[in-house]
Structure 1
Amino acid sequence: MTTSPQDLTAWRARITRPAGPLGNASRAVQRRINTLIPEKVHAAITAAMSGMTKAILTGADFTTASPLLGASLEDREAKVTAAIDGWKTAAGAEGGAAGLGGFALALADFPLLMSFKFKLLAQIAALYGHDGRVLSERLYMLHIFELAFSDVEHRIKVLAAMDDWDAAEHPADLKDFDWRSFQQQYRDHIDLAKLAQMLPVVGAPVGAVVNWRLTAHLGKTAMMAYRMRWLATRQGEVVPAR
């Protein structure tokens, strides 16, 4: 199997396809809810989300492996697939345990799942040959996260920012990132799924499935995003992929 610019064009077209009637209706409800929430609440949520995410990205336990050098795309993606499978299993088990614990543990699940997701992104970055300790790489991880958990309008903006990433200039500090959009898009994307995790009886299986699927989706999005960079630096080549 090969990865070509045409494959990536098809992927980009798929994730930027306009939402259907159901998607538009759901987004309209979310926007209405957001307008009803007081600004100081939005500000507090943004501060909490940015603080938590920055703590994950800069914390002592956020270990990043050395970039993998000299490997083919096929070999890299075999390792990436294995990493995604491992984190899917861990996230699913954690979500199931949190679902058994009711409201309190379901709330505790949120930062832990975020930690899992960014550790997965750091591992994937290293396997594609990028240094996750560099600020620009951490910003790229944040954009991958947005790409996975945003509505189509925001995804289009994120993709534009990710194009020619290695040749572009980037903010000098994480504080310059658009945390308001980041938290609001993510919250809107997972609200209903994660609320179901707090329900009695069904909370455990729902938590396991939701965490598994969210992690799988993020991993697949990361693979496509790093393939995009891989091909951007090898224009004209058709490179092997799994």
Structure 2
Amino acid sequence: MTYEEKAYDELMEWQLKMRKKGSFVQKFSKTAQNKMNQLIPEKVHKLLTEAIKAMVKTVLTGSDVISKNTFPQALHLKEKETLINQQLDVYRKTAVLEGAGTGAGGLILGMADFPLLLSIKLKFLYDVAKIYGYDMKQYEERLFLLLVFQMAFSSNEKRRETLHLIENWEAERKILRDVDWQSFQQEYRDYIDLVKLLQLFPGIGAAVGAYANYKLLDQLGETAIYCYRLRYFRNLGNIKDYVEGYDN
């Protein structure tokens, strides 16, 4: 099989996996988290929503200035994904060091891990979009990036909703004006709450922080590859025609 054929088959398997309903444990956990969230006053939810919204927009706005990364022109899928995996390795190592450092620092530094890790994740996605040649000055491209982020760190139900938007992006981009920021922050917090809570405990915080950040970057890397791969193949049209032309 060519790289493209194998990648396309993997993409189909991933889409099926993303459409599966969650296990009993996942459903129970999400129900418990929803009940806990209902106990939090609405004012607190609004404050968290605005805080994360501001954080995300600040990183996205400044990434074109902060990120000095330049990438060679990648014409084919294999070249693009090789570059992405190289960048993932760099960001994963950065996240591991950050998680170990803040985890070893107890409660105060542990709380600082949240915005730092969020920044690392968004900058990685920014590089992925650049490798694919998308213009991140376009508002729609930043929305797509946030959908990829949400795809990586959401419950099964929200993940299926987001997958639909990504699969139909060319149509959705014309009508989608913004993400649901309250859902965005709540899904993200629910996804990482337990592991980040363990990171605050003295003695184990550094190890937990390093391991958790490694796994979270892995999750984001896999999701980003499949989401942009999906868009890549959708833009090509008929994959069989493309693969035959590539082989010749």
Q: Report if TM-score (shorter chain) is over 0.5.
A: yes
CA distance in 2, matches of 1:161, 1:93: 34
Compute the TM-score of the two structures, normalised by the length of structure 1: 0.91
Kindly indicate which of the two structures has a greater share of residues assigned to helix.
2
Q: Secondary structure at the match of 1:233?
A: helix
How many Å apart are 1:123 and its aligned residue? 0.5
CA contact (8 A) 2:100 2:206 kept: yes
Q: Which residue of 170, 176, 179 maps to 1:177?
A: 179
2:54 counterpart residue number: 51
Say whether 1:132 aligns with 2:136. Answer: yes
Percent identity between matched residues is: 37
Alignment size in residue pairs = 237
1:159 counterpart residue number: 163
Alignment of 1:42-121 (within 5 A): 42-59=45-62, 61-63=65-67, 69=73, 71-121=75-125
Gaps of 5+ in 2: none
How many Å apart are 1:170 and its aligned residue? 4.7
CA distance in 2, matches of 1:39, 1:219: 33
2:42 counterpart residue number: 39
Q: What's the C-alpha RMSD, in Å, of the aligned pairs?
A: 1.9
Tell me the alpha carbon deviations over residues 79-111 of structure 1, each in whole angstroms, 9 at most, x when there is no partner: 111110110011001100101111111111111
1:233 counterpart residue number: 235
CA contact (8 A) 1:146 1:182 kept: yes
1:190 counterpart residue number: 192
Q: CA distance change for structure 1 residues 82 and 170 in 2, over 3 Å: closer, same or farther?
A: farther
How many Å apart are 1:70 and its aligned residue? 5.3
CA contact (8 A) 1:67 1:125 kept: no
CA contact (8 A) 2:153 2:191 kept: yes
Compute the TM-score of the two structures, normalised by the length of structure 2: 0.89
CA distance in 2, matches of 1:123, 1:164: 23
Q: Which amino acid aligns with 2:217?
A: T
How many Å apart are 1:59 and its aligned residue? 2.3
Tell me the alpha carbon deviations over residues 200-230 of structure 1, each in whole angstroms, 9 at most, x when there is no partner: 1000010000011101110110000000000
How many Å apart are 1:171 and its aligned residue? 4.5
2:21 counterpart residue number: 18
CA contact (8 A) 2:52 2:185 kept: yes
